[in-house]
A = this chain, B = another copy of it.
Amino acid sequence: MKTDGNIPYKIYLEESELPKQWYNVRADMKNKPAPLLNPATLKPMTAEDLKPVFCDELIRQELDDTTAYFDIPDDIRNFYKMYRPAPLVRAYCLEEKLDTPAKIYYKFEGNNTSGSHKLNSAIAQAYYAKMQGLKGVTTETGAGQWGTALSMACAYFGLDCKVYMVKVSYEQKPFRREVMRTYGASVTPSPSETTEVGRKILAEHPGTTGSLGCAISEAVETAVKTDGYRYVLGSVLSQVLLHQSVIGLETKAALDKYGIKPDIIIGCAGGGSNLGGLISPFMGEKLRGEADYRFIAVEPASCPSLTRGRYAYDFCDTGMVCPLAKMYTLGSNFIPSANHAGGLRYHGMSSVLSQLYDDGLMEAVSVGQTSVFEAAEEFARVEGILPAPESSHAIRVAIDEAMKCKETGEEKTIVFGLTGTGYFDMVAYEKFHDGKMVDYIPTDEELEASFARLPKVE
C-alpha cells in the first residue's frame, strides 16, 4: 500500500475537535425550501399545528431557516463521544486497485451498533424529548436501521421507545428487531390491533404484510393519543439534516487539518439525511461564494426521485396524514419494487436538497442495483469494510468518477459518505452472489400514473 506524504490511512479528530454546533444550511440559502403546508388549510404549518406530533424544540429547529448555527447540548456531545468523531479514511487500497490518480476519501459512519449515521439524529431527538419531560417516543421502521438507532438513544436517556415495524420485516428480518429489543424498545408488527388505523387496515386487508405508510400512520396516531409521547422521524425533515451536519463538519475539519480541498463530494440519497448532513458545510461555502465543489446525489434507478421525479407539493407519507412538503417526488402512492437498499425507498426527497438541486447547486445520478453490489464487493475486498447497500450507491459513483480521472489523468480529490455497514443485509448479498439480483427501473407510464395523483396545490 502506497501512502501519500503525511496523510494517514485514517484521519481521526480529537474528542476536543468534535463539533460544538450543528450547521443549518438553510440560513445561507437564497431560495429557502418551501414551507410545510397544513393538508387541511394548505397554509404553512405553524408551531402550534405541529405541537401534538413533534417535540417543541424540534419544531423550533424545523421551522427556523435563518439561524446558521445551533449549539449541540453537552449531553448529546457526550453521547457522540461513544462513536464520534468518526474516521475520515483515505481509500489507499481502493486507489491502488483502480490504478487511478484520483485521491479518494470516505467518511465512515458505520462504527456504531445502529450500523449507520442514523444515530446522529436519534440521540438529538431523544434528548429533546427527555428535556421536554416526555415519557417516550414513537416511530416507524422498515428494515430497522432507524428503529435501532432510536432504541439505542432512548435506552441512553431512559425513554420509552415504541417502534412500529413493517410486518414483513418484523417476520423476515428478526435480527434488527432483536437488536431493538436488546435496547429495551417495544417493537410492534404493523399493521397492528393497537391503533385505530391498524385495525381498519387489518379489517380491510386481512393478512396484509404492511407498509411503511401504514406504520407511520400507526406511530403518529399512538404519539398523538398517548399522554407524554411524541412522534420522531429519521430522515427528510430539515431538523434531521441539521443534526446530520455533524458528518460534514467533521469531514471538513479533518480535510482542513491536512490542507485537502475536495473536488467532488458524493452521497447516497434516500430521504436525504446522510447526503444533506455530509454536504451542508461545503454547500454553505458554495452558497456564500467562498469555494466551489461538485456535489453528486446518488439514488437507486428503482426509486429515482431527483432524476425522474416532479418538484411539487406532496404528502410525506403514503397514509397522507402528515403535512405536505414541496420536494422532488415520485408521488406518495409510488411503491418502489423490492430493492435491497431499504433506506433508499422513500418516494420523495428532503425539501432542502430538493431546492438545492432545483437551483442547480447539486447534481444527481441514478444507478442500477447490480452495479451497486459489484462496487460494494470490490470495495469490501480491498478496504475491508462490508458496506450497506445504501452506502454502496455512493461507492459506485465514487469509483466511476475515479475511473474518469484515470482516463483523463486528473488528480481529483473525491470524498464520499460511507453511511453504514451491511451486516444485516446479507440476504441481498446472497442474491447477488447467486446471480439472482434483478435490476428494476420504473417505466415512464408508471411514473406518469403516479404523478397524476399528486395533490393539487397552488
Contacts and interface: CB of A to CB of B under 8 A. Distances in A.
Interface of A: 1, 8-10, 12, 14-15, 75, 78-79, 81-83, 93, 111-113, 115, 152, 155-156, 174-176, 178-179, 181-184, 376-377, 380-386, 421, 423-424, 426-427, 429-430, 433
B381 A113 contact: no
> Chain copies in the assembly?
2
A154 to B, nearest CB: 10
Contact of A15 (B8, B82, B386, B433): B8
A-side interface mostly: helix
A348 to B, nearest CB: 31
Given A15-B10, A78-B1, A426-B174, A380 B83 contact: no
Nearest to A16: B8
B382 A156 contact: yes
Nearest to A108: B111
Contact of A381 (B174, B184, B377, B386): B184
A363 B254 CA distance: 44
B384 A81 contact: no
18 contacts: A1-B79, A8-B81, A9-B15, A12-B12, A83-B384, A112-B384, A152-B384, A156-B384, A175-B423, A178-B429, A178-B433, A179-B426, A181-B429, A182-B376, A182-B380, A182-B381, A182-B429, A423-B423
Contacts of A83: 384
Closest 7 CB pairs of A and B: A175-B426, A155-B381, A178-B426, A9-B81, A1-B78, A423-B423, A113-B386
B377 A82 contact: no
Given A9-B15, A156-B381, 18 more contacts: A1-B79, A1-B81, A8-B81, A9-B78, A9-B82, A83-B384, A111-B111, A113-B386, A113-B421, A155-B380, A156-B382, A174-B430, A175-B426, A178-B429, A179-B386, A182-B377, A182-B429, A423-B423
